[in-house]
Amino acid sequence: MNLASIQAAESKLLLHTYERNPYLFVGGKGVFLEDENGTQFLDLLSGIGVSGLGYGHPAIEEAIAQQSKRLLHTSNLFYHEGTANLALRLTEISGMDRVFFCNSGAEAWEAALKLARANATQARESGKRLGTKFLALEHSFHGRTMGAVATTHKDKYRLPFAPVMPDVEFVRFNDVADLRSKFSEDVCGICLEPIQGEGGIHSVSQEFFAAARELCDSTGALLLADEIQSGLGRTGKWFAYQHYGIQPDVTTLAKPLAGGLPMGTMMCNEKAASAISPGMHGTTFGGGPLVCAVAIAVIDTMREQNLLAHIEEVGSFFKSQLEGLKAQHDCITEVRGLGLMLGVELNSAELAKQVAAQVMERHIIINRTSETVLRFLPPYILEKEHVVTAIDALNETLKANKELAGATPAGEQVHG
């Protein structure tokens, strides 16, 4: 089947949830994807932050090959070797005490929300006052299940499915006064992404994160940090909260964890974990032998190859190159992000749309999020030479769109 026939078939057969870009990929190696004509695309998105080790990585191929010959599934009714080995690594790198395995980001976040409610229930049973309300941030994104969309800010993701989980209030991004005024003993959890991904690559401030920690400590509510996109090295540290020196009670991780296979985890401290007893929560597939083996290979490879330092180095280079572009193009209003989680804010949504499409026509994959933001989530193995190629293409594309670049600013401005 070629692209046109697949497009025609999908348009009749699939639920219309995606506006796909018109490319058909059949393979990949390193930081490049290959389309059906054999054209190589430099991938600066890695499947929305998933393929951290790029494509065709030998450690991942080996882990899949070996484990596929041994055992794929046991259910959580029995033991296998992978879960404890992976949990040991995850607790080491996160500073958390316990791990729950599941299959996706939304599912990990759902577990985090349930844990916060269970923690509050346990507190009430021991005579404390702790309510059921969540505080979440404006422009947040936590996934598509009913609990996750309830804590997700964008109306389009939430309102058509009402009523979603009740008892969520949104706090203005980085507005400490708003956080303090909405916080009380009614709150069982504060939800935040240390760096908002889908919301346009915005970092919470040190002050805001610290206030959230202090407020949760004052009542026993849980601080939930969603690191589904920012976690496992993306920002140059294992977890973005480590840049702040603030330890949340609960964190979630998913996208890059199993090298392209679906896997999520919710990790927490001992205090939060005590709210869960056998039978209260679970999953059929979560933490299966295959995904555990691959996730172990991903973490071990990252450690052996010192990829955190590499991400930090190439990420700083990438960011400084983007700053250089900003100096040349007035249409770039801001460059944001850490490590290899970067965003470029343009002054027009139409321009951002055109630029993303035209850069892809030059065989470089980038993404637009939050209307006006070009988002970069490249594989961790990106090299400076790839950055130079990308910057050249962006520069040419921005030049070619000079007229659009002068257009009136986008209607929807995020974060004022």
Ligand X SMILES: *Cc1c(COP(=O)(O)O)cnc(C)c1O
Footprint on this chain of ligand X (rule: CB under 6 A) = 104-106, 109, 141-143, 193, 197-198, 226, 228-229, 254-255
CA distance 399 to 136: 39
- Structure-token pair, residue 334: 């801001």
CA distance 52 to 382: 9
Quick one: 106 or 275, whose CB is closer to ligand X? Answer: 106
Quick one: 82 or 105, whose CB is closer to ligand X? Answer: 105
Radius of gyration, alpha carbons of the chain = 21
Quick one: 196 or 354, whose CB is closer to ligand X? Answer: 196
Smallest gap, in angstroms, from Cβ of residue 140 to ligand X?
8
Quick one: 133 or 202, whose CB is closer to ligand X? Answer: 202
CA distance 70 to 73: 10
- How do strand 373-376 and strand 341-346 relate by DSSP bridges? antiparallel
Report the interhelical angle of 349-361 vs 384-400 (nearest 10°): 120
Smallest gap, in angstroms, from Cβ of residue 345 to ligand X?
18
Quick one: 137 or 272, whose CB is closer to ligand X? Answer: 137
> Three-class SS of residue 133?
strand
Quick one: 220 or 231, whose CB is closer to ligand X? Answer: 231
With a CB cutoff of 8 Å and minimum separation 6, the contacts of 361 are none
Quick one: 119 or 369, whose CB is closer to ligand X? Answer: 369
Quick one: 368 or 386, whose CB is closer to ligand X? Answer: 368
Range 157-166 contact pairs with CB under 8 angstroms and sequence separation of 24 or more: 165/113
Neighbour-count burial of 13, counting CB atoms closer than 10 A to its CB (0-12 exposed, 13-18 middle, 19+ buried): exposed
Smallest gap, in angstroms, from Cβ of residue 228 to ligand X?
4
Smallest gap, in angstroms, from Cβ of residue 286 to ligand X?
13
Name the residue type at position 405.
Answer: A
Quick one: 43 or 193, whose CB is closer to ligand X? Answer: 193
Name which of 380, 308, 372, 304 is nearest 340 in CA terms. Answer: 380
Smallest gap, in angstroms, from Cβ of residue 17 to ligand X?
12
Quick one: 102 or 331, whose CB is closer to ligand X? Answer: 102
Residues β-bridged to residue 265: 101, 253
Q: Are 310 and 287 in contact (CB under 8 A)?
A: no
CA distance 197 to 140: 8
Residue whose C-beta lies closest to ligand X: 105
- Structure-token pair, residue 393: 């293409």
Smallest gap, in angstroms, from Cβ of residue 245 to ligand X?
21
Quick one: 197 or 220, whose CB is closer to ligand X? Answer: 197
Neighbour-count burial of 91, counting CB atoms closer than 10 A to its CB (0-12 exposed, 13-18 middle, 19+ buried): middle
Residue 173, CA distances (Å) to 111, 117, 186 in order: 24, 23, 20
Count the residues in the chain.
Answer: 416
Smallest gap, in angstroms, from Cβ of residue 49 to ligand X?
7
Smallest gap, in angstroms, from Cβ of residue 386 to ligand X?
23
- Structure-token pair, residue 149: 């969309």
Half-sphere exposure of 380 (CA within 13 A, CB side): 31
With a CB cutoff of 8 Å and minimum separation 6, the contacts of 394 are 325, 355, 359, 374
> Three-class SS of residue 342?
strand
Smallest gap, in angstroms, from Cβ of residue 124 to ligand X?
28
Residues β-bridged to residue 137: 171
Smallest gap, in angstroms, from Cβ of residue 58 to ligand X?
26
Smallest gap, in angstroms, from Cβ of residue 227 to ligand X?
7
